[in-house]
Amino acid sequence: MAFYTRHLGDNSLVLSQRLCAWCGFAPELEIDLALANIGLDLLGQARNLLAYSASLTDSALDEDALAYGRDERQFTNLLLVEQPNGDFSDTLMRQYLMDAWHLPLYQGLVASSDPGLAAIAAKAVKEVRYHLRFSRGWLVRLGNGTALSNQKMQQALDRLWRFSGEMFSSAPEEQALVDQGVIPATQHIEAQWQQEVRQGIADAGLVLPDSAPYRTGGKQGLHTEHLGPLLAEMQYLQRVYPGQQW
């Protein structure tokens, strides 16, 4: 349970950190604000989830210790969220694939038998619904835009597709949580994700890649080469001045 909430928190934390890097660099003022908004939503979710995860362990951990005191082998986020921002199409595609997963997941968690998790999910589901609306809107817009924007979106999809399978590889210990009604069944979420993504990709005039050799390992702390540098930047202050407060 502590592991599972930490995994969800790590997803939101890392993706939030990625989105923050767009601040001041987005293609339009309005997009800049929208991406920052989504980043802040995710950071709030990460804080809730990590604080809750910390409270479930008996140690003196808190959300800050989890966010700034762990190295990449201790991070359990999906590989998808740590992928570089690339250009706007890469960021959008990453966001869309993630939002399409987040929504059914949190909708399922709202009905969790664990009141703490259900409360966090209830708050998150409103935000995630908007995120999906944003990323799906842009996906369809750019997919049906110019020949170039369609090509860029297709390339982003082809690049990121191999990270999508990991969302549905559940750890053995998660089955017990499903049986207790704490978390929704993976198959259920996968079905909804497939339905959303197939429709979204079709609406955007893009082609789903043939099943790629999927990359997994994030949940086990085995990451791509991108997470280490991201953490080095994010945790710089705590690494140089451990325990620094202000």
Partner 1 sequence: MSKIYWPLYEVFVRNKQGLSHRHVGSLHAADEQMALENARDVYTRRSEGCSIWVVKASEITASQPEDRGEFFDPADTKIYRHPTFYTLPDGIEHM
CB of 15 to partner 1, least distance (A): 17
Rounded Cα distance between 2 and 57, Å, is: 7
* DSSP sequence for 153-181: HHHHHHHHGGGSGGGG---TTHHHHHHTT
Q: Which of 62, 73, 74, 137 binds partner 1 (CB under 8 A)?
A: 137
CB of 235 to partner 1, least distance (A): 29
Nearer to partner 1, 148 or 207 (CB): 148
CB of 35 to partner 1, least distance (A): 9
CB of 97 to partner 1, least distance (A): 19
Rounded Cα distance between 246 and 234, Å, is: 17
151 binds partner 1 (CB under 8 A): no
CB of 149 to partner 1, least distance (A): 10
Matching residue, tokens 């966090």: 120
Nearer to partner 1, 41 or 72 (CB): 41
Q: Which of 73, 133, 198, 239 binds partner 1 (CB under 8 A)?
A: 133
CB 42 within 8 A of CB 102: no
CA nearest to 68, candidates 94, 40, 44, 47:
47
How many residues are recorded in the chain?
246
134 binds partner 1 (CB under 8 A): yes
Rounded Cα distance between 129 and 102, Å, is: 9
232 binds partner 1 (CB under 8 A): no
> Which region among 1-9, 31-39, 47-55, 230-238 touches partner 1 (by CB under 8 A)?
31-39
Nearer to partner 1, 28 or 210 (CB): 28
* Residue 244: how many other CB atoms lie within 10 Å: 9
27 binds partner 1 (CB under 8 A): yes
147 binds partner 1 (CB under 8 A): no
CB of 135 to partner 1, least distance (A): 11
Structure token pair of residue 40 = 């802040």
> Which region among 48-56, 69-77, 91-99, 126-134 touches partner 1 (by CB under 8 A)?
126-134
CA nearest to 168, candidates 192, 186, 188:
186
State the maximum Cα–Cα separation within the chain, in Å, rounded to a whole number: 55
Number of H helices, E strands in the chain: 11, 0
23 binds partner 1 (CB under 8 A): no
Binding interface with partner 1 (CB under 8 A):
27-30, 33-34, 37, 130, 133-134, 137, 141
